[in-house]
Chain A
């Protein structure tokens, strides 16, 4: 009994429960949903593999977003950052005489990440030095960013035909999708970076109480630069995966509204938008819930016009169940139930 209450109280209980429910719905709709097979090329194959592959870009962005949100900030520019990174990489590859050369693709990828780093530092400058509210500061690049991508591609959709570039988004390594591996590596590296150094603790400290942290000698400015730069670079990584998957840089559509999915993943994972304590594990669960939700829409056959409403309904349900007010109301009900139980058994005892 106690264990049940403990589990119910855990931060990740409801998102995990939702994940299980969604998977169950899929299994009912498509009995073979959980099966993973190996196809003729030796690649793992199945709906679960699709979820961890297609969910990779959202997860990668959400990892960066988690740290930004932990500092009481938000980064709305990540979707545009995806488009910029994709646009730059594709235009470099197209301009090169050797698009199929691994060296060319490496240069294109590194330059895209470097540009994202610069833009992330710009976000950090606006927030940390000029003190602009994060939502406004990153709104600038959110709107201007797609324009920058458009300038890079000269208004065209750049289609690239490059095997090494295609590998990033749709390749397999040891049977596992490359995108999934990249996401796993990003998650592991950021977890190590923040929890093995003091970065995570200081970020939380600044997010919980900025003035107390300042008086304790914490340099919030450096931390803010770090998290916004990291967020932008991770957004670029996600953008390269998306672009590679489409084999085309589409300034208008690459990463469109992905910032909202990423923020949602963070919030579903139990990190508060008020900053402070964060959980990368929670963000992982949140991203998986979102991607499973998108998959469910297809497997269950919900009409496309109702997709957004369905998605919204699930999100509302999870966030409600997570909210402290609802959970305390539930706890009250439970304790009332328990009291009724004990009264009942006492009455029984008397009757006997």
Chain B
């Protein structure tokens, strides 16, 4: 059982020495101990996954290793030598490269320019463009990547851009490569491509620190796992020796009954609704579409129904959801809400009809990071009332307090700035904002992306109970298990059009994958849409 603190697994007796060894690392921020005596080590040629819930201290540990934060106590050894980095550039020069979740490259430059940025080969006081392109081509080839170095970065998909970012990172004779959530916006094939590159780097002896919330991927690619919880070291394990259930338990530190409980609950609910009469239609979209975003599509959502949108990245999931939520304008088609036609030009109008779109892009389009938790929670409600009718402070405090409690938002107080919260808690604040206006249709676009298992379970549970109380939900997630667990009905999109509308009885992931890949070849798969 992974409960005993400071478990060390599989220390190779005569094996290689660790390339990175961090011992007793402590870092404090005002009011919090972000890391408390944490140890972490990496061996050359190994993929080491850093696991933990949000707020466990993963990012802090990475930032300590890359010189973004100074450590209050403890030491870092790189290839046996004690090091102290004052900034990321020093860490990079020492051979520690990082690729962050968001691609930090310049889209309007070529792939070659991006790979060589900041260390362009020089000749006669200028840049040696030919040498640069040649060098970039070599690097890409070294990773077996078939990308034209002369093409503009923007012309490639996000996945390719991510690979270019890795190519850029490993050029600096990297001993250690840190990949922070590299797969969160990639689809299955793209992840396979990324893993191929990771494996070839492993063969070269690079130590890779991998952070991902996808357990499947962690198990597929990692050799070793270190689990953190609440800023403390829980244990280090060999991946092959650790059962998934034990890993999750180590991460969340409590019995893992919640996830399974929801699973059975929703499935039993499914059976109820499918046996009962079909729910009253709340929203119907007829041939709703937008040029370049999604082809004209029909969609119905019943009162109290959870409709899942499934499909690969770029299949039109988000685009369709944005049209229904009034965030983008429709070119064609007609929306009907409760039987009366409706035209939505702005999110504001949608909110007036209690239709709410919660963006997949939490940072850029969701939270207002420099406002307090309370201001973020009341924002939509206040905007709806207009600025001259302020919500009394007492009512604001009540609202904030009740949602902080109901959604289990971990914040020191309601006045804390949202930017200081972890991702999962930011997501909950955003949910609280939407719930505060008592929506009748809640459109959740990837609400569980990049957040930890515990928060994920809580959000799934919440969606379930909201629908039980009559709220309609349109649910988007890249994780098919999640879509299957929560949805009464699943609409599948591919290449920006709807290919199937399936009632969720006894559907399995494999069935869904087949539809996503092949489309609905048999006509009966479309029957769900007729209702």
Contact = CB atoms under 8 A, between A and B. Distances in A.
Q: Which of B346, B351, B368 counts the most chain A CB atoms within 10 A?
A: B368
B368 A217 contact: no
A214 B346 contact: yes
Given A215-B359, A216-B433, A201 B364 contact: no
B365 A198 contact: no
A191 to B, nearest CB: 14
Interface string B341-382: 000001110011000010100001111111100010001101
Contacts of B357: 215
Chain B, interface size category, equals: 20 to 34
A198 B387 CA distance: 5
A208 interface: yes
Contact of A219 (B327, B348, B389): B348
A207 to B, nearest CB: 9
Given A214-B347, A219-B348, A198 B391 contact: yes
A199 B348 CA distance: 17
Interface string A185-201: 00000000000111101
A217 B359 contact: no
B192 interface: no
A225 to B, nearest CB: 12
B390 interface: yes
B507 interface: no
B29 interface: no
Contact of A218 (B369, B383, B389, B390): B383
Nearest to B351: A217
A201 B371 contact: yes
A273 interface: no
Contacts, number: 80
Contacts of A204: 368, 370-371
A198 B368 contact: no
Among B359, B371, B380, the most chain A Cβ lie within 10 Å of the Cβ of B371
A258 B357 CA distance: 44
B384 interface: yes
A219 B389 CA distance: 14
Contact of B387 (A202, A209, A211): A202
Contacts of A209: 364-365, 367-369
Nearest to A272: B370
Given A216-B347, A216-B433, A202 B383 contact: yes
A208 B371 contact: yes
Nearest to B352: A217
A167 B440 CA distance: 59
Contacts of A219: 348, 383
Contacts of A198: 382, 385, 387-391
Interface centre among A201, A205, A277 (most CB of B within 10 A): A201
Given A197-B388, A212-B367, A215-B327, A205 B379 contact: yes
A204 B384 CA distance: 16
| Residue with the highest number of chain B CB atoms closer than 10 Å, among A217, A223, A276 | A217
Contact of B370 (A215, A218, A276): A276
A159 interface: no
A245 interface: no
B419 to A, nearest CB: 10
A47 interface: no
Given A197-B390, A198-B387, A205 B375 contact: yes
Contact of A196 (B351, B382, B390): B390
A54 B37 CA distance: 59
Nearest to A226: B387
A218 B385 CA distance: 10
Interface in B274-292: none
B390 A205 contact: no
Contacts of B367: 209, 212
A223 B387 contact: yes
Contact of A208 (B369, B384, B389): B369
A246 interface: no
A299 interface: no
Interface in A171-189: none
Nearest to B86: A332
A217 B384 contact: yes
Contacts of A214: 346-348
Contacts of B351: 216-217
A213 interface: yes
A215 B327 CA distance: 7
Contacts of B384: 217
Contacts of A277: 370
A270 to B, nearest CB: 13
A216 B390 contact: no
Contacts of B375: 201, 205
Given A196-B390, A198-B390, A217 B383 contact: yes
Contacts of B368: 204-205, 208-209, 212-213, 216
B347 A212 contact: no
Q: Sorted from nearest, which 10 A-B pairs have the closest CB atoms?
A: A217-B348, A218-B383, A217-B351, A217-B383, A216-B380, A199-B387, A198-B390, A198-B387, A209-B368, A215-B347
Interface of A: 196-199, 201-202, 204-205, 208-209, 211-219, 223, 276-277
Given A204-B370, A211-B364, 15 more contacts: A197-B388, A197-B389, A198-B387, A198-B390, A201-B382, A209-B368, A209-B369, A211-B365, A212-B368, A215-B359, A215-B366, A216-B347, A218-B379, A218-B383, A219-B383
28 contacts: A196-B390, A197-B387, A197-B389, A197-B390, A198-B388, A198-B389, A199-B388, A201-B375, A202-B382, A202-B387, A208-B369, A209-B365, A209-B367, A211-B365, A212-B365, A213-B368, A213-B379, A213-B383, A215-B357, A216-B347, A216-B351, A216-B379, A217-B346, A217-B347, A217-B348, A217-B380, A217-B383, A218-B383
Interface of B: 327, 346-348, 351-352, 357, 359, 364-371, 375, 379-380, 382-385, 387-391, 433
